[in-house]
Amino acid sequence: MRISTTGYLILGMLRLGVQTGYDIKRATDLSTIFFWSTSHAQIYPALKDLEEKALVAGRSEPRGKRPRRVYELTDAGEEALDDWLRRPEPATFEVRDPAALKLFFSDAIDRDDALAHVRAMRRRSERHLEEIRRESEPGAEALHDQGTRFPLHVLKIGLAVHQAIADRCAELERELEEEGRGGRRKARATRP
Amino acid sequence: MRISTTGYLILGMLRLGVQTGYDIKRATDLSTIFFWSTSHAQIYPALKDLEEKALVAGRSEPRGKRPRRVYELTDAGEEALDDWLRRPEPATFEVRDPAALKLFFSDAIDRDDALAHVRAMRRRSERHLEEIRRESEPGAEALHDQGTRFPLHVLKIGLAVHQAIADRCAELERELEEEGRGGRRKARATRP
DNA sequence: CAAAGCATGTAAATAGTTACATGATTTA
DNA sequence: TAAATCATGTAACTATTTACATGCTTTG
């Protein structure tokens, strides 16, 4: 009985008290999006699948005439989640960053065009930092104070990643700007 | 005529002088793997597709009896690559890190099990750092000295990312270890 | 002579996105 | 009353992985 990573994401969210497909989507957008994203087109079929496997139990709980399906973990679901949580994870870490790929090949284009890519990349990470702080951190801190600590711990890793990217891009921008103004000598002087 | 990101990766590698599907795979494993990975099962069909679109030209150039197909950019291919390189990129940045997801839900398991996940994560990034330095940096530096600078620039962003993860994990490990020994008061004291 | 590396491909399955489709309720 | 938000689903397409399949050449 194979459970996908998205399946475990759902089991985990249900244990944290999130109840519907819609809310799971919202919760992931706020909390796991920086290391695991999903769409509602994945969540609804996955919930069905987990229900067939008897790991979650769903019941209809409409709000007025608007249909709504509320899920909870079964004992088997809780066990499956715990097993997964305790199992060491194969060390995969995948990044898909088309902007970085573009930058990688940017020796073929004008310095100014390349510089624009670096700036866009820095701004992207700065935007992410701001977003995490504004949208995600308050919730993570509230959870932390109630004894659920790891969401905040993981969030801080995300912040560190984007801070590192923003910093490195800022440095690269300075390097490229200096090269543009002063030529080779100055650019070299900053290296050691 | 839509070209996939993997398609542009191939066009870019061809311009850097890489000639065969096999070598493109090897080159990506050494250089783009930390922000864009592929498998040979994607590369060979993509090369075919690019050839149909007349963006690359392939010819058979066997080594002895071992078949081998050598590709080069056509003028149209060069143009398509340049257009893409100059086009600003939609700011997508996706990470798939199941270990981080596990850590996110780790309030439900023993502190020692959670600590093991943090350690595994730190070691993973340390391994990546070492690998990049050993396997990728020398080549990127050689390219840099020949005037192809951006591969090294991008590599440094990758190093910064994994350094940030390793650092943050190390700090979290200390926090969790201290909590384990001394209880709440000490752990809180390190926070501000 | 065995193992590692060179070299190319395809098939099947899984994962994931985007678009389609619908409609209720709340808020400005 | 229009827009935003709540709420759930499916279909078609694209992307990606894993396994299958083959065979040559170099190196230890």
pLDDT in tens, A140-173: 999 999 999 999 999 999 999 999 999 999 999 9
Mean pLDDT of A55-75: 96
B30 within 8 A of B135, measured Cβ to Cβ: yes
Angle subtended at Cα B86 by Cα B15 and Cα B77, rounded to the nearest 5 degrees: 35
Q: Which residues of A touch B98 (CB under 8 A)?
A: 5, 36, 89-90, 92
Confidence at residue A191, expressed as pLDDT on a 0 to 100 scale: 34
Cβ–Cβ gap A157/B108 under 8 Å: no
**Closest among A69, A58, A55, A44 to A11, alpha carbons compared:** A55
pTM of the model: 0.91
Confidence at residue A183, expressed as pLDDT on a 0 to 100 scale: 57
Neighbour count for residue B89 (Cβ, 10 Å): 19
Neighbour count for residue A99 (Cβ, 10 Å): 20
Neighbour count for residue A133 (Cβ, 10 Å): 12
Cross-strand pairs, B59: B70
Whether the pLDDT of residue B185 is over 70: the answer is: no
Number of inter-chain CB pairs under 8 A, A vs B:
201
A97 within 8 A of A108, measured Cβ to Cβ: no
Q: Give, for B15, the enclosing helix (H) or strand (E).
A: helix B5-15
Confidence at residue A192, expressed as pLDDT on a 0 to 100 scale: 31
Return the axis-axis angle of helices A150-182 and B150-182, rounded to nearest 10°. Answer: 150
Separation between Cα atoms, residue A127 and residue A129, nearest integer Å: 5
A92: the nucleotide nearest its CA (via C1') is D17
B28 within 8 A of B9, measured Cβ to Cβ: yes
Separation between Cα atoms, residue B158 and residue B168, nearest integer Å: 16
Q: What is the pLDDT of residues A19-42, one digit of tens each?
A: 999 999 999 999 999 999 999 999
Question: pLDDT-derived band of residue B183, with 50, 70 and 90 as boundaries?
Answer: low
B55 within 8 A of B11, measured Cβ to Cβ: yes
Q: What is the pLDDT of residues B51-95, one digit of tens each?
A: 999 999 999 999 999 999 999 999 999 999 999 999 998 889 999
One-letter amino acid at A140 equals: A
Q: Which residues of A touch B4 (CB under 8 A)?
A: none
Covered bases, chain D (protein CB within 7 Å)? 6-12, 14-19, 23-26
